[in-house]
């Protein structure tokens, strides 16, 4: 199921005048209201609305030749779901026109408006980052559709739609994860393989600091863990599922951030692993933990506290030393030396958020038999991301060692 948008606003779009058309031809059909859905994709830099689908199939046969990129205009407004105090900053909110790059009639007879989007492009994102809280939140999205020219529908006069009603935000990859709350109250999302017969491996994805809850605001959505990056989604792709021969993927959401109190959160994550394993036919010898940043720390902490739980561990730009000068060590040298879970560490040299030498490199030097992939930058498909975002490489199965990629390495290991 798609996730309902907050404030499911009913919007009446202006049916603007088109040059050269008479007034009777431009009169909107008062009985014609059309719903629309927002279609989203999670890019490496986060989720964006990439197209809009108008439910026009019920109107009859729409002549595709009457539909072009200029037929409709799209305006988007994204605001914070949380009330902000004076001086609070939230990044990535917007109020602007979205560029329609193409329009088509799909096989169902619905009109699809393709929208300009891409890495680093403002105005299509579904998440905003509140600086004072260090949190991503799912933005309230209000889209307004304006029809600029009539549609040609078989058996009807030239048609102008009277109003447009905003519906769901649809993202098949995100929607494939079901929603759950553990016995202790920690929320998680779960992807189940298409064929659940027989014992299947389990991949545990631990999110970064920006994807935790903000309980003082009563904000605990369990969605940003999937919408902020492709970390969990990568393991649910057909490619990953083929490599793992079908795997469950679980994404718990912290009630704050893992670094706040790893030893307290560890048993709650273990509880989710046990719950999923009990309810589904999970191969307990093939449970893997992967985490980025805050989650990279938590992956290390989990293998230190539960040495016999995981078949492999993949900490990505994980925190080992404190990020505050003079702060406590987060994972001690004694803990690192004692880790015997097969471990593959990933980071980028230009990471200024979690310096690799003091964290990833240091952990690699101490964890017996560990593998390390240390990139120069985080660059994918020609776009350079911040150096901290090295989880992109794991989400794309890029790290290699002795000719073996990281997903294949994970899949071949058993506890």
Beta bridge partner(s), residue 75: 97, 144
- pLDDT for residue 25: 44
- pLDDT for residue 162: 94
- pLDDT for residue 47: 98
Q: Provide φ and ψ at 354, rounded to 5°.
A: -125, 90
Q: Domain 10-170, what fold?
A: Immunoglobulin-like (2.60.40)
> For residue 48, is it left (φ>0), alpha (ψ between -120 and 50) or beta?
beta
CA–CA distance, 47 with 127 (Å, rounded to integer) = 7
Give the tens place of pLDDT for each residue, 178-237.
999 999 999 999 999 998 889 999 999 999 999 999 888 889 988 999 999 999 999 999
Tell me the angle at which helices 262-279 and 294-305 cross, rounded to the nearest 10 degrees: 80
Per-residue pLDDT of the chain (415 residues; tens, 9 = 90+): 333 333 333 343 333 333 333 334 444 555 689 999 999 999 999 999 999 999 999 999 999 999 999 999 999 999 999 998 888 899 999 999 999 999 999 999 999 999 999 999 999 999 999 999 999 999 999 999 999 999 999 988 899 999 999 999 999 999 999 999 999 999 999 999 998 889 999 999 999 999 999 888 889 988 999 999 999 999 999 999 999 999 999 999 999 999 999 999 999 999 999 999 999 999 999 999 999 999 999 999 999 999 999 999 999 999 999 877 777 899 999 999 999 999 999 999 999 999 999 999 999 999 999 999 999 999 999 999 999 999 999 999 999 999 999 999 999 999 9
- pLDDT for residue 87: 85
Among residues 271, 261, 232, the alpha carbon closest in space to that of 248 is found at: 232
Which two structure tokens, joined as six digits, stand for 346? 């990933």
Place of tokens 């795997």: 247
Among residues 195, 168, 241, the alpha carbon closest in space to that of 5 is found at: 168
pTM of the predicted model, to two decimals? Answer: 0.92
Hey, CA dihedral for 149, 151, 157, 162, is it positive or negative? negative
Q: Domain boundaries in the chain?
A: 10-170, 176-412
SS3 assignment, position 339:
coil
Task: Count other C-beta atoms under 10 Å from residue 410's C-beta.
Answer: 28
Class of domain 176-412: alpha beta
Question: CB within 8 A of 321, min separation 6: which ones?
Answer: 329, 330, 358, 359, 362
CA–CA distance, 57 with 91 (Å, rounded to integer) = 37
SS3 assignment, position 336:
helix
Among residues 393, 394, 414, the alpha carbon closest in space to that of 201 is found at: 414
Which two structure tokens, joined as six digits, stand for 251? 């994404």
Task: Count other C-beta atoms under 10 Å from residue 315's C-beta.
Answer: 34
CA–CA distance, 166 with 51 (Å, rounded to integer) = 13
DSSP3 helix / strand / coil % (the chain, rounded to 5): 25, 35, 40
What is the bridge-based pairing of β-strands 282-292 and 200-206? parallel
Which two structure tokens, joined as six digits, stand for 115? 């929208």
CA–CA distance, 255 with 209 (Å, rounded to integer) = 11
CA–CA distance, 25 with 159 (Å, rounded to integer) = 8
């Amino acid at each position: 199921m798609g996730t309902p948008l907050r404030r499911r606003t009913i919007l009446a779009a202006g049916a603007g005048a088109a040059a050269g058309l008479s007034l009777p031809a431009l009169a909107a059909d008062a009985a014609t209201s059309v719903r629309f859905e927002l279609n989203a994709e999670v890019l490496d830099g986060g989720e964006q609305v990439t197209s809009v689908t108008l439910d026009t199939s019920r109107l009859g046969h729409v002549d595709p030749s009457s539909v072009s990129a200029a037929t409709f205009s799209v305006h988007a407004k994204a605001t914070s779901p949380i009330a902000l105090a004076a001086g609070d900053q939230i990044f990535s909110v917007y109020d602007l026109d979205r560029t329609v790059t193409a329009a088509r009639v799909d096989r169902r007879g619905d009109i699809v408006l393709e929208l300009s989007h891409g890495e680093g492009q403002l105005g299509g994102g579904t998440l905003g980052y509140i600086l004072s809280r260090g949190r991503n939140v799912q933005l309230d999205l209000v889209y307004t559709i304006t029809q600029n020219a009539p549609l040609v529908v078989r058996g009807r006069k030239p048609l102008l739609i009277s109003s447009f009603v905003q519906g769901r935000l649809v993202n098949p990859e995100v929607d494939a994860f079901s929603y759950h709350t553990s016995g202790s109250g920690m929320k998680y999302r779960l992807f189940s393989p298409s064929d659940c017969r027989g014992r299947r491996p389990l991949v545990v994805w631990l999110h970064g600091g920006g994807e935790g809850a903000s309980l003082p605001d009563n904000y605990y959505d369990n969605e940003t863990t999937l919408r902020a990056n492709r970390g969990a989604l990568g393991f649910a792709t057909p490619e990953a599922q083929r490599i793992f021969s079908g795997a469950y993927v679980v994404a718990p959401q912290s009630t704050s951030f893992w670094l706040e109190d790893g030893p307290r959160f560890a048993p709650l994550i273990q509880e989710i692993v046990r719950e999923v394993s009990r309810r589904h036919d999970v191969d307990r010898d093939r449970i893997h933990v992967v985490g980025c940043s805050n989650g990279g720390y938590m992956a290390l902490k989990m293998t230190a506290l539960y040495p016999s739980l995981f078949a492999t561990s993949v900490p990505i730009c994980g925190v080992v030393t404190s990020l505050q000068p003079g702060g406590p060590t987060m994972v001690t040298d004694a803990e690192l030396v004692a880790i015997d879970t097969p471990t593959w560490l990933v980071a980028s040299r230009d990471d200024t958020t979690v310096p690799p030498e003091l964290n990833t490199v240091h952990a690699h030097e101490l964890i017996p038999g560990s593998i390390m992939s240390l990139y120069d930058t985080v660059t994918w498909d020609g776009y350079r991301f911040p150096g901290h975002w090295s989880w992109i490489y794991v989400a794309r199965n890029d790290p290699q060692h002795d000719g073996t990629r990281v997903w294949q390495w994970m899949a071949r290991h058993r506890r």
